[in-house]
Structure 1
């Protein structure tokens, strides 16, 4: 920080080692007696934090840095999330001025609420970057500042803000579990003391996915109530059955279930009211244009005011948005499973080769790019050699997985049918790839492991792929960077070369894709050095399971790419 450093330094002092956020050099804020201190950048992300703030918030600094300060910390008096439009601490930040206040609440890492007094003042976090310094103290809660249930009456502006926040939060993820977590935090405790979410499963059943209660500033799941539900009877007139059929929303209470139950679902609802103590509730279907995905129930047990018709209208709108978000998440997950299943079925069973050991693994990407074009292959060739392949088709979607299947099958066919060197096979494959209707680009290493007078010889060629790593039994290691060439599918004619190496006894040869070594914010050389160090340290480990160990040790946590690995070990 330049100007931001002097602004922060005047208030905070120097007090700790530097921290890097998004590639910029950041400095720990020093301790300010009992004041917590945060610096946020122009996007509201925390870029500096002092030790006192981490202690007060009961969160490690690593959990705070890079996160949106408002979304992570700022809560209403009952722990509800707040739309940015009603954040009193945001206005001075946007206006670039100084302001202070009382009776605001930050959420700690353990879920409890902390009443604070605060000061926000503008500062700079870089030469051209505007940000803000936030100082806060924990204060003793007084009767006027203790968490209290908000009034059940919401203004029209508040309702619109909540609906806008609902849309923003629920469309920010394609993970169904995260969608439910966001939904729960949006409605409890702002609208209710309890939230119950019942979901229709893809198999046609019903599961009570969440029963959550707001207790002393913390959201607690009642796991004993989160159970599979009985089938939904089509003839039942009870509110939950109707909601799960997508019929209508309803205001309900314990009296709704005092009569003779018409189904096992009604029995479960009676038990729910008894266990939770809810005196008023409203229920609405969660549906899309195509189908019903579940039902959401809000309940009040502590706050005395019952739900009103206006509350029911608001819940219907929230439930509809939640239904669309959950349906999108399910469709995405279904497509991801199809693509991943196809990809895994295309990966081969490793052949048994007398005198050689083989190991392999594949890991799909963890988040948005859950499927891709990485693959490995190993197969016996007619002349007694073993063919080894590691490859990566450009892209991270179903098209990449389909392209991978084409390239993999063509390479295997060429290698088995033509008694040619790896470079010749790759040249033929490049020509074939260029003729595919859907343009495919890929990186590949193709190697032949040939028996040689009691030993083994490696002959290989590369089309733009990261080089294999050789680790000898005495710990010496090197990357096999010879025989590099242009990736497949560019349309540029090239003649690739072969490289030959006699493999030492008890040597380990590792093929891998770039998802193992690439990481945002780190160079490729750093990733390759990390792989080499861990591979050497594990070189005496039995080969079965070696790839999984390397994957756990080397793959960066923030990598969004899939990974394929193939390892070979020669006999002693």
Structure 2
């Protein structure tokens, strides 16, 4: 249905607005939409009244073709009002309940009707305000939620930032810890390798020479080694810094530089007058008794890292111990070698019999063992030859060897046979040194010059070369090692010797090698002895001894002493 109102005055406008509002309410238009329609219509009608003239308000309801399911309001100038050509004003609102009513009733100009319409408009406005209040509350609620969300996001960002900083700090700390661990591993590896190098040698000059090679240029720019009891040592500088002298007197490390070094366990000193612009670290080389020297270092850069300085102090302590051990070893070696050389007497001259002896110390260890040889005459004119080996090395073995040698000479005065002599030496050693053992072989050349009696106790067998070049190993049953806790009577063995025969007595250091055992070595000795002719042995037995040793000792490293005694019956 279509409704039309002509608007000329304010009263016409009020009546039309009231009618439209009633029709909208009758058709079920919601309060907010109805208030919006009324407000828009009131504004347009106010403009029309301001412009003047007659205006026509048309409202098409849900039943009209133009307003199916809606209310459609149009305001246009009345025909002939002089406002033709103006665009119409329109507004449309939906009708949830179209067709409820066809007419809202007439609107009069009575004050009661107008007042009622005004109150109805106020009710719509109040409803709109209530809706607005609800929306404001909802907006305030969502604003608070948004604020709380923003605060949570800000807190989360702060936590993420703090976690990021903590992670970066943890990564940095881990990197520093890894670098420190790597540096510590590098220092420990260097210290272990350097200690192995220093302790590998028993020559103190070699240790002093290796120290600069180990430290330059990684941990020092320059190294000086000052040993107190070697004023002519080539490694000693011409003059010593004051800090080095102070370190020698106090036994404490000293650091001489223009500013304190802050090195742990090191005393600070003024810069050296010899070189004021170069820092110096002077470390005493300590031993169990007293300092034996001072190690003076200059840094590879401006100064040392404190951890590097601690490592250098430990290296100097180990170097001092290594030098002291080397000197002790050299001292004991010299004593033992002097004693042993003194005991290896000259061989006696015997008609018809040539003797040649060789003694070579081991190339490892103290170089002095218990190997010995001897040859002397008995009262009846017979000649006793002996080669023996006392277990162990060093001064103690050399002393025990001298005692056995002396005891053997004393027992031989009575004219005992080789087996009887070894039996008596066995008893002597058991009572003298129950924990010491020895091996020996004794050969007695009878006065007739054609008979050989020999006996062995735990010793490698003698090797006999006959005049025709054949070689025999005299391996008849020997006695056990001397000094073992066992009573034994060692037997004699006798051989007839034609002129031109050669007998070789030796110790196991000549023929025994760890990788091959002793039997291949005895075979090589027999082959070397059989390669000579009788004329060569008659002419120069000394040269023959050297030529026998040469192929047997082709390897330069020996773990044991070597002793060889050749006895040749001249043809």
Please, what TM-score do these two structures have when normalized by structure 1? 0.58
- 1:169-568, aligned counterparts within 5 Å? 169-177=197-205, 179-180=207-208, 183-200=211-228, 204-208=229-233, 226=234, 238-245=242-249, 247-251=251-255, 281-299=280-298, 305-307=302-304, 312-416=309-413, 418-452=414-448, 455-482=449-476, 484-537=478-531, 540=536, 542-555=540-553, 556-568=555-567
Deviation digits for residues 257-288 of structure 1 (CA, Å, limit 9, x no counterpart): xxxxxxxxxxxx96xx8xxxx96553322122
Specify whether residues 249 and 491 from structure 1 end up closer, same or farther in structure 2 by C-alpha distance, changes over 3 A only: closer
Specify whether residues 502 and 553 from structure 1 end up closer, same or farther in structure 2 by C-alpha distance, changes over 3 A only: same
Per the alignment, residue 32 of structure 1 pairs with none
Per the alignment, residue 14 of structure 2 pairs with none
Deviation digits for residues 355-388 of structure 1 (CA, Å, limit 9, x no counterpart): 2221112222221252221111111111111110
* Secondary structure of 1:394's aligned partner: strand
* Secondary structure of 2:282's aligned partner: strand
C-alpha root-mean-square deviation of aligned residues, in Å? 3.5
Contact 1:444 1:463 in 2 (8 A): yes
Higher normalized helix content (fraction of residues): 2
Deviation digits for residues 72-123 of structure 1 (CA, Å, limit 9, x no counterpart): xxxxxxxxxxxxxxxxxxxxxxxxxxxxxxxxxxxxxxxxxxxxxxxxxxxx
Distance 1:483 1:459 in 2: 14
Contact 1:373 1:394 in 2 (8 A): yes
Deviation digits for residues 527-550 of structure 1 (CA, Å, limit 9, x no counterpart): 112222223335626112443443
Q: State the Cα distance separating 1:466 from its structure 2 match.
A: 0.8
Deviation digits for residues 506-540 of structure 1 (CA, Å, limit 9, x no counterpart): 33221100011111110212111222222333562
* Secondary structure of 2:495's aligned partner: strand
Q: State the Cα distance separating 1:428 from its structure 2 match.
A: 2.3
Distance 2:451 2:427 in 1: 28
Specify whether residues 159 and 463 from structure 1 end up closer, same or farther in structure 2 by C-alpha distance, changes over 3 A only: closer
Please, what TM-score do these two structures have when normalized by structure 2? 0.58
Contact 2:462 2:505 in 1 (8 A): yes
Q: Flag structure 2 segments of 5+ consecutive residues without an equivalent.
A: 1-178, 259-272
Distance 1:157 1:444 in 2: 53
Aligned residues: 374
Contact 2:224 2:237 in 1 (8 A): no
Distance 1:433 1:446 in 2: 16
Distance 1:228 1:567 in 2: 49
* Secondary structure of 1:367's aligned partner: coil
Higher Rg: 2
Distance 1:245 1:475 in 2: 71
Contact 1:369 1:560 in 2 (8 A): no
Q: State the Cα distance separating 1:491 from its structure 2 match.
A: 3.2
Contact 1:442 1:489 in 2 (8 A): yes
Specify whether residues 421 and 227 from structure 1 end up closer, same or farther in structure 2 by C-alpha distance, changes over 3 A only: same
Specify whether residues 289 and 391 from structure 1 end up closer, same or farther in structure 2 by C-alpha distance, changes over 3 A only: closer
Deviation digits for residues 392-449 of structure 1 (CA, Å, limit 9, x no counterpart): 1222343322322222211111111x22322122222222222224433221111111
Distance 2:298 2:237 in 1: 19
Q: State the Cα distance separating 1:245 from its structure 2 match.
A: 4.8
Deviation digits for residues 121-155 of structure 1 (CA, Å, limit 9, x no counterpart): xxxxxxxxxxxxxxxxxxxxxxxxxxxxxx9xx95
* Secondary structure of 1:435's aligned partner: helix
Q: Flag structure 1 segments of 5+ consecutive residues without an equivalent.
A: 1-150, 209-225, 255-268
Contact 1:471 1:477 in 2 (8 A): yes
Specify whether residues 536 and 279 from structure 1 end up closer, same or farther in structure 2 by C-alpha distance, changes over 3 A only: farther
Contact 1:460 1:500 in 2 (8 A): yes
Contact 1:251 1:312 in 2 (8 A): no
* Secondary structure of 2:444's aligned partner: strand
Specify whether residues 428 and 520 from structure 1 end up closer, same or farther in structure 2 by C-alpha distance, changes over 3 A only: same
* Secondary structure of 2:505's aligned partner: strand
Deviation digits for residues 316-341 of structure 1 (CA, Å, limit 9, x no counterpart): 33212211121112112222222222
